[in-house]
Amino acid sequence: MRYRRFAPCLGVVTPLILTACGGGGGGSVALPPNAGQPGALPPQAAIPSAPAPDEYETAEYARSYGLKAVGAAAAYRAGGTGRGVAVAVIDSGVDIDHPDLAGAVDPASRDLTARAAPTADDQAGHGTRVAGVIAARRNDVGTHGLAYESRILALRVDDPANAVPRATYLQSDIAAATRYAVANGARIVNYSLGSPDGITGDFVASMAAAAAADRVIVAAAGNAGGAEPIYPARLAPDPRFARHLIAVGAVDENNAIADFSNRAGSARDNYLVAPGEAVATTDVGGGTVTVSGTSFAAPHVAGAAAVLMQAAPHLTGAQVAALLLGTATDLGEPGTDAVYGRGLLNLGAALRPQGAATVPTGAAVADGGAPLAGTALALGPAFGDALSGGALSGAVFLDGYGRAYAADLDRRVAPRPVGGGLAAWLAPAEEARAGAAPLAGGALSLSLAAPAADRFALRAPDAPAPAPRASAAFAAGGVEAAVQRGLGLEGRFGLAPSEAAGAGLAGGGTFDGPLLGLVAGGDGLALAGDLGAGWRLSVGAAAAEDGEAGWDRSAAVAELSRGWAPRGRAGLQIGALSERGSVLGGSAEGALAFGDRVGTAFATAFASVPVTGSLSLFGSATYGLTDVGGAGGGLLGGFSAIGSAAFGGGAAIDNLWAGGDRLSLAVSRPLRVESGSAELTLPVGRTLDGAIVSERRRVGLAPSGGEIDIEAAYSLPLAAGESLELGAVGRLQPGHDADAAPQAELGLRYRRRF
């Protein structure tokens, strides 16, 4: 049964009296004392981004459809229960002995009328029903309030001259109660009462003072089915209250506007609807009752405000009101309209992140940070699974209202695989070569290649075609100069493919320079000269960049080698690699970005030694030392020197089963970080005064395992220019991950040269 529609006040001068915006009810069930109360989050903790298992949609929860309608369970899973937030219910008092409100009534509750025997104990029943929608305790009996751990500051203002249960209220008492609520710590003021004829200046002044004190004011729209809310709800657009006063209309279980509810009208920008028809709540004298009226829609909004304030205590009242209005579910005509205003209260949405998501990188919220969407760390292959396994767990990001949420930054750290492997071997580049042609006393050679990956990649119609790779070399008098585009220094230093017997199927550049490989896609210049007696000196430089990814790399190298008959050669090279925006091939953005230029010094020793006429041995080893430099203003800083190493060796046998065939076997470990650490300053929460709560963690940068690649290759020449080749690769602890399962690859290819 619904309350009677609002009627003009009788018996006293109208401007001085308001009536309750609700009525009637039926059915009661006895309830036991309040039971267990789930814990709430401390002020500086994060609102979880991922909900816990659904433990809140109990039978008690289901008895009030209003809880589900506004998304209350999502709020509870995120830790929002309203614990400790005081809501002033300015009404007919509250049943202080109701078992479902045990522990909910603030000791400062008062009777602010001129009653002969003042008491906050409710006689009319209206205040008890309003309070139950907000704060009835969760105890597995009956139903519970939206903010079931909030506190009710019950301020009794029903006129002593009026008989119950039809309560009316003197506006002077309401004004006094409003001031009392502000003075006694209520952050939310609920008015489930009103008048169609305006309110007194004293009442308006008390509301203005509450708004100035940053209180959220919630007012029922009234039950006359009119186009405009009653007062004080109609004052919601008034500049004195526009950022703090919310007018509330009622909808039924189907989210249709109740026929008795006053519509949004001129208050549409500050008007919400909430469940207000057949709402289950606490009844005076114990038990539950089903009631209807905007009186019971308004406390849904008041309870939602309490949940927001408890989940994020730093929020101002104006921010809470803006959140509730801005996250409402649109009903009726698209957008804000004259019936539903901003729409249906959606507490679940209000607790979700709103506005820009930022990872704080300073000591205070005001210091700003980096966009969460742009925060990522792609570790170079040498790091393997470093920084995995929860190194960044517990981090938070802030939404546009400064609320802290679990950021799950671990998911934004991804290792890069070594790459290449048999996929690149099976699809080699298309290459055109011009043989050494006599030119000005020397010889000129040219080559042009299209990367295999480019030939098979799908590109958008307007995407530029990848640049071809090209090389030009001029040799004269024992000196050779080479210029390479898209190849870096590839093929110019370390073991040549023929000397390494084709090893390197696994990728990673172990035999031809793993650190020089980081500029393989750039442009290079190399000079080499014979020194006599088999000695040769080579120097080179290369640079590569990716403007879109925000990194650039350059390298310089010098190599001294000596060759001897018939196929022997050994050498030593030293070099330096410079990176901006990356470390050892990894890249980072946002809060995890590397800010300063990173330098790596490295040395490589290599040899290819013939043992017999058909058997040769080969090997290579590289060690690098990386200086990361400053922190760059992000979360990662305080880097120690990073040591990295790669090594490998193998054997090749020619003419094993047929003339011109070759079998090669190799074992290698691709570049791996051997030592190094960094300091991680991880934001884990915020305080009420805006300070960022951080944890400093020293994190190791070496991976848990060490990848070992075992490879075999067999080449069988067929007719002229044709060959059949078989390749196999096995990986132990792939990706330098000690827990990774072994991998194996097998490939067969046919080649024909034109």
Dist. CA 54–CA 60, nearest whole Å: 14
Q: Is the pLDDT of residue 613 over 60?
A: yes
Domain assignment present for 51:
no
Q: Is 455 helix (H, G, I), strand (E, B) or coil?
A: helix
Q: Which two tokens stand for residue 595?
A: 């800010």
pLDDT band at 162 (very low <50, low <70, confident <90, very high): confident
Domain assignment present for 241:
yes
Q: Which two tokens stand for residue 18?
A: 């308001």
pLDDT band at 16 (very low <50, low <70, confident <90, very high): low
Average pLDDT, the chain: 85
Dist. CA 708–CA 700, nearest whole Å: 21
Q: Is the pLDDT of residue 631 over 70?
A: no
Question: Which pLDDT score is estimated for 436?
Answer: 55
Domain assignment present for 160:
yes
Residues 319 and 218 in one domain: yes
Question: Which pLDDT score is estimated for 419?
Answer: 58
DSSP 26-83: E-----PSP--------TTSPBPSSPPP-----HHHHT-HHHHHTTHHHHHHTT---T
First to last CA, the chain: 93
CA atoms within 13 A on the CB side of 124: 25
- The arithmetic mean of pLDDT across residues 46-61, rounded, is 68
- The arithmetic mean of pLDDT across residues 510-518, rounded, is 87
Residues 450 and 569 in one domain: yes
Q: Is the pLDDT of residue 422 over 90?
A: no
Lowest mean pLDDT among 15-19, 98-102, 199-203: 15-19
Residues 343 and 472 in one domain: no
Lowest mean pLDDT among 25-34, 51-60, 491-500, 516-525: 25-34
Question: Cα angle at 18 between 13 and 21, to 5 degrees?
Answer: 150
Residue of 109, 111, 126, 244 marked active site: 126
Q: Which two tokens stand for residue 235?
A: 């004052």
- The arithmetic mean of pLDDT across residues 42-48, rounded, is 53
Mention every residue, 6+ apart, whose C-beta is less than 8 A from residue 24: 1, 2, 3, 4, 291, 292
Name the strands in the sheet holding 396-398, side by side, starting at the edge strand that comes first in the sequence.
369-371, 358-360, 396-398, 404-406
Q: Is the pLDDT of residue 417 over 80?
A: no
Residues 183 and 308 in one domain: yes
pLDDT band at 29 (very low <50, low <70, confident <90, very high): very low
Q: Which two tokens stand for residue 620?
A: 């290579």
Q: Is the pLDDT of residue 4 over 60?
A: no
Domain assignment present for 174:
yes
Residue that terminates a domain, selected from 317, 351, 385: 351
Mention every residue, 6+ apart, whose C-beta is less than 8 A from residue 241: 207, 208, 211, 217, 235
Dist. CA 596–CA 202, nearest whole Å: 63
Q: Is the pLDDT of residue 440 over 80?
A: no
Residues 347 and 442 in one domain: no
Secondary element (H or E) of residue 615: strand 615-627
Residue that terminates a domain, selected from 307, 330, 351: 351
Which residue type, as a one-letter code, is found at position 576? A
What CATH number should be reported for the domain holding residue 507?
2.40.160
Residues 304 and 444 in one domain: no
- The arithmetic mean of pLDDT across residues 400-404, rounded, is 93
Question: Which pLDDT score is estimated for 240?
Answer: 92
Question: Which pLDDT score is estimated for 56?
Answer: 83
Q: Is the pLDDT of residue 28 over 50?
A: no
What CATH number should be reported for the domain holding residue 329?
3.40.50.200
587 is catalytic: no
Q: Is the pLDDT of residue 244 over 50?
A: yes
Dist. CA 276–CA 298, nearest whole Å: 8
Dist. CA 525–CA 471, nearest whole Å: 10
Tokens 């899973």, residue? 77
Q: How many domains does the chain have?
A: 2
664 is catalytic: no
Domain enclosing residue 490, as ranges = 437-455+467-675+706-752
Residue of 91, 100, 158, 709 marked active site: 91
Cis bond before residue 48 (omega within 30° of 0): no
Residues 104 and 248 in one domain: yes
Residues 86 and 226 in one domain: yes
Residue that terminates a domain, selected from 306, 331, 351: 351
Secondary element (H or E) of residue 129: helix 126-135
Question: Which pLDDT score is estimated for 43?
Answer: 42
Domain assignment present for 532:
yes
Question: Which pLDDT score is estimated for 507?
Answer: 72
Residues 223 and 329 in one domain: yes
Residue of 64, 206, 292, 295 marked active site: 295
Q: Per DSSP, what are the bridge partners of residue 696?
A: 681
Residues 447 and 315 in one domain: no
Which residue type, as a one-letter code, is found at position 625? L
Q: Is 24 helix (H, G, I), strand (E, B) or coil?
A: strand
Domain assignment present for 35:
no
Question: Which pLDDT score is estimated for 471?
Answer: 85
Q: Is the pLDDT of residue 7 over 90?
A: no
CB 733 within 8 A of CB 711: no
739 is catalytic: no
Q: Per DSSP, what are the bridge partners of residue 575?
A: 557, 602
% of the chain beyond a pLDDT of 90: 61
Q: Which two tokens stand for residue 380?
A: 């170079």
CA 59 vs CA 34, 56, 62, 138, 416: distances in Å: 16, 9, 5, 11, 49
Q: What is the pLDDT of residues 318-345, one digit of tens each?
A: 999 999 999 999 999 999 999 999 999 9
Domain assignment present for 47:
no
Domain assignment present for 414:
no
What's the pTM value of the predicted model, to 2 decimals? 0.81
Lowest mean pLDDT among 15-19, 66-70, 196-200, 505-509: 15-19
